[in-house]
């Protein structure tokens, strides 16, 4: 298990668009927020390109990311937004230099592709806010402030209220996951989750309830759910019914899918496509305690090593 080096003021970071196109002003505001924290910010050459739904061609997006992955002076890569396109970008990348000199990759949603890849290679990354979420009501968002704490070496410890559907218990394992639709789309590929010893985090947006049920039962039929050591459920935002109501909400659908297992389950963790979107350290070991009174999630010490510059 490797952690990239933590950040400090004066470090060089990059903002890239490996997926969907983004309005220049959104990414520029994000860059300004990072500069106010003392970072030297470079924005990818093709970050504001447009090609249909994408931020430029696959080759252009990959070129920006390859440059940032290979540049030893860049200590962290912040993704401008999600959307769609990270897998197409990933397929064109060479990670050889990155493996020798890892750096922080920060994002969520479609960036789950990169978290899945790095978790497979035992390198920590950050499921956290992207440029549009750095501020809320013109001040730094809670998600952004907690993200900065994490990147500077102050590991997140969370205490959240109890949820009526929680399953109590204690678990430890490597945190994996992110956006459920992306996790499901990676099934059967080299980026598929390896569930043994994992605590899975899931979130999603804008899906129909029947589609959520189908994704959860895909994980169940594939033996993923039964092998987990724990499950953390984040925001399920803007979920939809068809003409005929499915009859269960998102949390009830998920709870039913894991009813046969005995590990602890956390509902209502504040991360995903809503606020707050608190950072999670994917690919890293955590401990979860779910009690009737509430939930505690903490990093496990002594399990990881920090790589050199």
The per-residue pLDDT for 1 is 84
Residue 306 included in any domain: no
Structure tokens at 211: 């589609």
**Residue 203 exposed, middle or buried by CB count within 10 Å (0-12, 13-18, 19+):** buried
Residue with token string 């218990």: 169
How high is the pLDDT of residue 301?
64
Instruction: Indicate whether 305 belongs to any domain.
Output: no
Are residues 247 and 128 part of one domain?
Answer: no
Domain membership of residue 309 (yes or no) is no
Write the DSSP symbol of residue 117: H
Indicate if 88 and 164 belong to the same structural domain.
Answer: no
In a shared domain, residues 8 and 150: yes
How high is the pLDDT of residue 309? Answer: 26
Asked whether residue 140 falls in the same domain as residue 214, the answer is no
DSSP string, 222-262: TTHHHH-SEEEEEEEES-B--SS--SS-HHHHHHHHTTT--
Which residue, of 133, 154, 175, is where some domain finishes?
Answer: 154
Q: Which domain holds residue 265?
A: 158-299
Residues 209, 266: one domain?
yes
**All residues at 6 or more sequence positions from 221 whose CB lies less than 8 Å from its CB, including other chains:** none
* pLDDT confidence of residue 306: 29
Residues 150 and 34 grouped into a single domain: yes
Residue 46 is part of a domain; what is its CATH number? 3.40.50.10740
- The span from the CA of 198 to the CA of 280, in Å, is 14
The mean pLDDT value of the chain amounts to: 96
CATH of the domain at 207: 3.50.30.60
Of the candidates 129, 154, 179, which is a domain's last residue? 154
Whether 127 and 177 share a structural domain:
no
What percent of the chain clears pLDDT 90, i.e. is strictly above it? 95
**Distance in angstroms (rounded) separating the CA atoms of residues 272 and 102:** 25
Regions of the chain with pLDDT less than 70: 301-309
Residues 115 and 90 in one domain: yes
Give the separation between CA 183 and CA 192, rounded to whole angstroms.
Answer: 7
Number of domains the chain contains: 2
At which of 104, 132, 154 does a domain end?
154
């Amino acid at each position: 298990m490797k952690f990239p080096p933590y950040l400090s003021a004066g470090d060089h970071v990059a903002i890239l668009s490996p997926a969907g196109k983004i309005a220049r002003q959104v990414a520029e505001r994000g860059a300004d927020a990072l500069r106010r924290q003392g970072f030297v910010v470079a924005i990818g050459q093709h970050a504001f390109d447009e090609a249909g739904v994408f931020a430029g061609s696959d080759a252009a997006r990959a070129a920006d990311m390859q440059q940032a992955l290979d540049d030893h002076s860049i200590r962290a890569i912040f993704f401008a937004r999600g959307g769609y396109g990270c897998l197409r970008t990933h397929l064109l990348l060479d990670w050889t230099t990155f493996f020798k000199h890892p750096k922080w990759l920060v994002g969520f949603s479609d960036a789950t592709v990169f978290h899945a890849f790095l978790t497979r290679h035992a390198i920590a990354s950050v499921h956290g806010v992207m440029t549009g979420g750095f501020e809320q009501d013109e001040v730094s968002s809670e998600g952004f402030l907690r993200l900065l704490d994490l990147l500077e070496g102050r590991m997140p410890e969370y205490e959240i209220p109890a949820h009526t559907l929680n399953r109590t218990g204690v678990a430890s394992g490597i945190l994996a996951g992110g956006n459920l639709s992306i996790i499901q789309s990676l099934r059967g590929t080299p980026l598929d989750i390896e569930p043994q010893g994992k605590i899975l985090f899931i979130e999603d947006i804008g899906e129909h309830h029947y589609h959520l049920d189908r994704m959860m039962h895909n994980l169940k039929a594939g033996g993923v759910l039964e092998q987990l050591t724990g499950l953390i459920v984040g925001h399920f935002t803007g979920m939809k019914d068809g003409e005929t109501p499915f009859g269960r909400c998102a949390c009830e659908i998920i709870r039913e899918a894991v009813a046969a297992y005995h590990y602890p389950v956390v509902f209502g963790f504040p991360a995903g496509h809503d606020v707050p979107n608190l950072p999670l350290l994917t690919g890293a070991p955590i401990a979860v305690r779910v009690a009737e009174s509430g939930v505690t999630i903490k990093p496990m010490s002594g399990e990881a090593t920090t790589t050199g510059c």
